[in-house]
Structure 1
């Protein structure tokens, strides 16, 4: 099986929505990393202190066939058409270990769909 990794950088208030939407179309879970970053807009300042929005990096390790529907679900739920809401991109994954239980679950779904 081939795997890919979707990385989505989103504002923290959007994280749960994109994870839920991704699960609805086939993602089995996500890893969420708290981060901060800069974008095209300058950070706001208040009395000389920089106020940066907290960001979450959401990682989805997916079987290749689920990438497009999950990416679309993330785009819709995260309202990525709005400026400054987030970005997502896909990377190829060379090797994976520790996914055996999820691979078995997928095989069961495929078997069940044929019968």
Structure 2
């Protein structure tokens, strides 16, 4: 039941309307996609200001499950494209994933690559 591959989950939280930048950046760096969840930030006031900049309470969370060997490249791409190095743009962090189920397309791709390699080399 457990998948032997090691994965990371990149969680990116941005203001409403910026999730497409995150998804596009992650795909450019090797991710296959992501899941967008809509939410709302909470605080003392519905709309707060930080250094005179209005902070939007509506948020988009992007969950990107990625093989561990691609994590740094995808995270860096997200940071650059979504401008997370600038104040008020958002945040991203990485969580290690211990177990996964349901990632069948990756296993199918690996089996097809092995089959194609065997066919090319004349194996049956």
TM over 0.5: yes
Shift of 1:68: 0.5
For residue 42 of structure 1, report the CA deviation from its aligned partner: 7.5
Number of residue pairs matched by the alignment: 104
Quick one: distance in 1 between partners of 2:47 and 2:67?
Answer: 37
| Residue 96 in structure 1 maps to residue 100 in structure 2 | yes
DSSP 3-state at the match of 2:101: coil
Deviations 1:1-33 (A, max 9, x none): 101100000112221011011001111110110
Give the Cα–Cα distance (whole angstroms) in 2 for the partners of residues 83 and 54 of structure 1.
Answer: 17
Q: CA deviation at 1:85?
A: 0.6
TM-score (norm 1): 0.78
Q: Is the 8 A contact 2:12 2:91 kept in 1?
A: yes
Aligned to 2:121: none
Equivalences for 1:66-77 in 2 at 5 Å? 66-77=70-81
Alignment TM-score, normalising by the size of structure 2: 0.73
Runs of at least 5 residues in structure 1 that lack an aligned partner in the other structure: 46-50
Q: Which runs of 4+ in 1 moved over 6 A?
A: none
The structure that has the greater radius of gyration is 2
Give the CA RMSD over aligned residues: 2.6
Which residue, 86, 94, 97 being the options, matches 2:90? Answer: 86
Flag the 1:42–1:56 CA change in 2: closer, same or farther, 3 A.
same
Name the structure 2 match of 1:21.
Answer: 25
Please give the alpha-carbon distance, in whole angstroms, between the structure 1 residues aligned to 2:6 and 2:90.
Answer: 26
